[in-house]
Amino acid sequence: MKIPEKAPDWTKLQPEDIALSKELSETIRKANEDYLYWDRFKYLAPKERNPEQAWKILRLLREMNMKRIPLQNQDGNLFKYWLPDCALEYLHEIDQYAGGVILTESPSLYASEKKWYLMKSIVEEAIASSQIEGAVTTRKVAKEMFDSGRKPKDRSEQMISNNYLTISKIKTLTDQPLSKELLVGLQGSMTRNTLDDPGHSGRFRLKEDEPIRVYDHEGNILHDPPAPDKLEGLIDDLCGFSNEKGKEFVHPVIKAIILHFWLAYAHPFNDGNGRTARALLYWYLLKNGYWLFEYISISRVIVKSRNQYYRSFLYSEMDEGDMTYFIIYHLRAISAAIKELKRYIERKQTELRYAARQWSSYPSLNYRQKDVLRKALEDKTLTFSLKSHMQRYNVVHQTARADFLELCKAGLFNRFKQGKVFYFVVAEDIESKLQR
């Protein structure tokens, strides 16, 4: 990724340069629709103004709307943000859907089935968040690991497994205030058995640790984190900002994104900062009633636009702490994730209606058995285990065993044993049996 060009100093603006023409006003409006930085805005400037002059006017107008947060950059200046119209539009969309509208659009679906359709995104988030941090396992292999219930084979699979388990338990932590202990616990859970130095898991950076830098996947330096001796104050301020109430209102989605940025900027751990920052975003949103975020995968969107993700962080650092770039990128990513979830549910509803006609001869099948059957029909190479069934549907061993024994008794699945563990595969003549 190419490092963006440093913008001109907007503070060196002469009073006579501030007059806004109709053309310049329209240019500024377009620039704020996508919240452009200098490297793109300079090509948009009207002919009547040179790009540097137009940029200075744009930055002056943005500065008039800024809100400060208690996070300082390396120069001692406070980070800041504002919400242009595009951000407010995204927030309206998120508020509209994140409270559960998606789940009420098809009353024909059972609540338990709805939940499973949505739970798929926890697996997707675990995979994508790990891929952002360097995991090289494919989605297919990772899903096979979850479906079979086998243990991770390598570091990449362990990263994904850790992500899954951590994200799954975040909702049990939402009654707690943000604290150093909670952050260390999240990072420790994310990084267990994945670091070159196991001693770096579950603790903040120390003076005696090797200095660290943040690189993109192409090896470019993106960020020099604050020194370890500044971390205590940065984390105290982070927790205070998260926990404070009764002061100036900050929209919960915006606050969650700021917490993500703050932790990534402070970079308090030797490794696992990105994964922990994204987990912190989910934690805060769930804590504030945005429960649908448990089931959407923001990281799946981020991994498809990794350079834009890195660039939004760089823009925020380079443009005098203007976090709006980072905020708008994440609002777009959240909007895309919600739309993706809606498409997924619509597709699954269609599949469910088709599958219901196929297994009409087996009316006693419960929603877990139907879902396993549907997955097996999509990919007949899949292998299922009792352990994965228990984990995926949150049931006890006895229930998982009963589910598969009934499927085997009906001739829809076959059972085989490897070592002491039983596995299950779909019967070869499954289509003919379903069409009876």
Question: Does the pLDDT at position 113 exceed 60?
Answer: no
What pLDDT does residue 104 have? 45
d(CA 333, CA 129): 13
Contact 384, 423 (CB under 8 A): yes
Residue 374 or residue 34, greater confidence: 34
> Full-prediction pTM beyond 0.75?
yes
**pLDDT band per the 50, 70, 90 thresholds, residue 355:** low
Q: What would the mean pLDDT of 22-31 be, rounded to a whole number? A: 90
Full DSSP string of 100-113: THHHHS-TTS-HHH
Q: What is the dihedral of CA 247, 252, 253, 254, to 10 degrees?
A: 0
**pLDDT band per the 50, 70, 90 thresholds, residue 106:** very low
Question: Does the pLDDT at position 301 exceed 70?
Answer: yes
pLDDT in tens, 121-157: 677 777 777 777 766 667 777 777 777 778 888 888 8
Question: Does the pLDDT at position 353 exceed 80?
Answer: no
Q: What would the mean pLDDT of 296-309 be, rounded to a whole number? A: 84
The DSSP H or E segment spanning 80 is strand 78-81
Q: Classify 71-343 by CATH class.
A: mainly alpha
**Among residues 84, 83, 81, 87, which one has the least CA distance to residue 69?**
81
Number of Cβ within a 10 Å radius of residue 291: 14
**pLDDT band per the 50, 70, 90 thresholds, residue 358:** low
**pLDDT band per the 50, 70, 90 thresholds, residue 99:** low
Question: What tokens were used for 223?
Answer: 């960020």
Question: What tokens were used for 203?
Answer: 């603790």
pLDDT in tens, 315-345: 999 999 999 999 999 999 999 988 887 887 7
**pLDDT band per the 50, 70, 90 thresholds, residue 86:** very high
Domain boundaries, the chain: 15-64, 71-343, 364-434
Tell the residue number behind the tokens 């969309």, with chain if given. Answer: 93
d(CA 375, CA 349): 14
Contact 179, 232 (CB under 8 A): no
Q: Do domains 71-343 and 364-434 have the same CATH topology?
A: no
**pLDDT above 90: percentage of residues in the chain:** 43
What pLDDT does residue 169 have? 86
Question: Does the pLDDT at position 109 exceed 50?
Answer: no
Q: What would the mean pLDDT of 70-91 be, rounded to a whole number? A: 92
pLDDT in tens, 58-67: 999 999 999 9
pLDDT in tens, 359-390: 677 888 888 898 888 888 777 888 899 988 98
Residue 353 or residue 322, greater confidence: 322
421 by DSSP, 3-state: which?
strand
Render the burial of 221-253: b for 16+ CB within 10 Å, e for the rest.
ebbebbebeebeebbebbbebbeeeeeeeeebb
d(CA 162, CA 151): 11
Architecture of domain 364-434: Orthogonal Bundle (1.10)
Provide CB contacts within 8 A for 388, sequence distance 6+: 146, 147, 148, 149
What pLDDT does residue 117 have? 54
Provide CB contacts within 8 A for 357, sequence distance 6+: none
pLDDT in tens, 201-246: 999 999 999 988 887 777 778 888 999 999 999 999 999 999 987 6
Q: What would the mean pLDDT of 417-434 be, rounded to a whole number? A: 85
What pLDDT does residue 107 have? 43
Strand order across the beta sheet in which 384-385 lies: 384-385, 421-426, 413-418
Q: What is the mean pLDDT of the chain?
A: 85
d(CA 348, CA 110): 13
3-state secondary structure 217-247: CCCCEEECCCCHHHHHHHHHHHHHHHHCCCC
Least confident of 59-73, 111-125, 396-410: 111-125
Residue 166 or residue 104, greater confidence: 166
Question: Does the pLDDT at position 51 exceed 80?
Answer: yes
d(CA 375, CA 382): 8
